[in-house]
Copies of this chain bind each other. A is one copy, B any other.
Amino acid sequence: MWFNGALRSKGRPIEPLNQLTATEIVAEIGQGRTTCEAVVRACLDRVAEREPQVHAWAYLDPEAAIAAARAFDNSGKRGPLAGVPFGVKDIVDTFDMPTEWGTPIHKGRQPERDAACVALSRKAGGVLLGKTVTTEFANLHPGPTRNPHDLTRTPAGSSSGSAAAVADFMVPIAIGTQTTGSTIRPASFCGVFGYRPTWGEHRMHGVMEASGSLDTLGILSRSVADIALYRDVLLGIPPEPMPSIARPHFALCRSHVWNEFEPVTRTLVEDAAHRLARVGARVTEFTLPAEFELLNDAHRTISSFEFARTFTFEIEHHWNEISDTLRGGRLQDGIVGRFDRYIEAKRLADECRRRLDALMGGIDVLLTPAAFGEAPVGMPAFAGVPLYQIWTTLHVPAVSIPVFKGPAGMPIGAQLIAKRHDDRKLFACAQWAFERLT
């Protein structure tokens, strides 16, 4: 585990406050042992200390954050996220902070309203701390964020700042998004929990669209309980208690790219499967049918076709302000993309989604790596094997849990994947596995 174990003690008040989880903050504030202002000040202290190196934030106004925290404390407001500071990826609209999409093209862009997910967070009592760094248009070209575990390494993207800020104890929870692996990979590289929901459950209004057929929100956190809580908040429903499961059925899924993972990653995941079996889980193996490999291409076809059309305005007016990485990559792919192939890819994806439900049968969750290995040194625009495309295209929910350590001492996540709409079962299994693998 990558966090301070002492935090889980019963001491009051728990310090440092910036290391609390969202669930803990709600309890501490609710029971009058601390205030939102104190929590926010602790987070801001951490930001002041570390941000010059980590660069997790695209926008953060400490005075405004303190004022918002004070306003919360004075309001007597309650709610499932009462007094919890949260970070929001800078492709998500906020009425009181700019939203620049990681591109100079939209520098200073100030939305007039909150995205649905931000409004729902605030309605639940959350206090927006600031906007976190995204890669350019949530694509590959990196922002300035560094991996807080090793500043010479990438945090991965595109939810770079959200993952780094949560990992570095600057904020307990943050909103990301995922179109390929933009939440799961940075969660793995930064050693935090990352959650990509079942596609289509959360409202995306006010979130920059990358590829509408694949985009979801993402949650970065330091506990599974926080993910379960925040998921319900973002669905706009009364949070249910953290789910549990007596004897989960895990299935090790090596996927089509197994041989491209780093050997240490393969060993860690196989070992985890053995350990889970030894402590009482049912553990089997699961192999995707060979034709599911076509979903890799389907993902590329769908995402690039949609991306290039979504950003027609930027292509027409700001072509020279777009990175070479994006122009020569997803945009070029999309601009020349053929509609018949796009529809064919969507039909294939639809068919595979249906088949997966039957194929998984009684399996609760699949177990597979959350990244090819540790975060590499440097800030590459792309890193690693095509691990996420199949799962993202299948619209299934996924969680990365920070349970492994690589040869350089950097975190690697285990990825757990459930059937569509089985998100809460996924949380139960993730918690079960996390408790037994750490």
Contact = CB atoms under 8 A, between A and B. Distances in A.
Interface of A: 95, 106, 109, 112-114, 116, 118-120, 122-123, 200-201, 203-206, 208-209, 212-213, 235-237, 306, 308-314, 316, 338-339, 343, 346-347, 354, 421
A140 to B, nearest CB: 19
B204 A209 contact: yes
B316 A122 contact: yes
Contacts of A109: 112
Contacts of A308: 236
B203 A306 contact: yes
A106 B213 CA distance: 28
Contact of A209 (B203, B313, B338): B203
Nearest to A114: B313
B120 A312 contact: yes
Contact of A200 (B203, B206, B213, B338): B213
Contacts of A113: 106, 313-314
Contacts of A123: 312, 316
A209 B205 CA distance: 6
B309 A236 contact: yes
A323 to B, nearest CB: 18
B421 A312 contact: no
Number of copies: 2
Contacts of A119: 312-313, 316
B309 A200 contact: no
Going nearest first, the 7 A-B pairs with the smallest beta carbon separation are: A119-B312, A205-B209, A119-B313, A236-B309, A114-B313, A205-B310, A113-B313
A324 to B, nearest CB: 22
A343 to B, nearest CB: 5
A124 to B, nearest CB: 10
A309 B308 CA distance: 28
Contact of A203 (B120, B201, B206, B212): B212
A268 to B, nearest CB: 34
19 contacts: A109-B112, A113-B313, A113-B314, A114-B313, A116-B309, A116-B310, A116-B312, A116-B313, A118-B313, A119-B312, A119-B313, A200-B212, A200-B346, A201-B343, A235-B339, A236-B309, A343-B421, A347-B421, A354-B354
Contacts of A235: 309, 339
Nearest to A110: B112
A151 to B, nearest CB: 34
Contacts of A95: 313
A347 B116 CA distance: 23
A231 to B, nearest CB: 11
Contacts of A237: 338-339
Nearest to A308: B236
A382 to B, nearest CB: 24
Contacts of A116: 309-313
A336 to B, nearest CB: 11
Contacts of A339: 235, 237
A237 B316 CA distance: 15
Given A116-B312, A203-B212, 5 more contacts: A95-B313, A106-B113, A116-B309, A123-B312, A123-B316
Contacts of A309: 116, 120, 203, 235-236
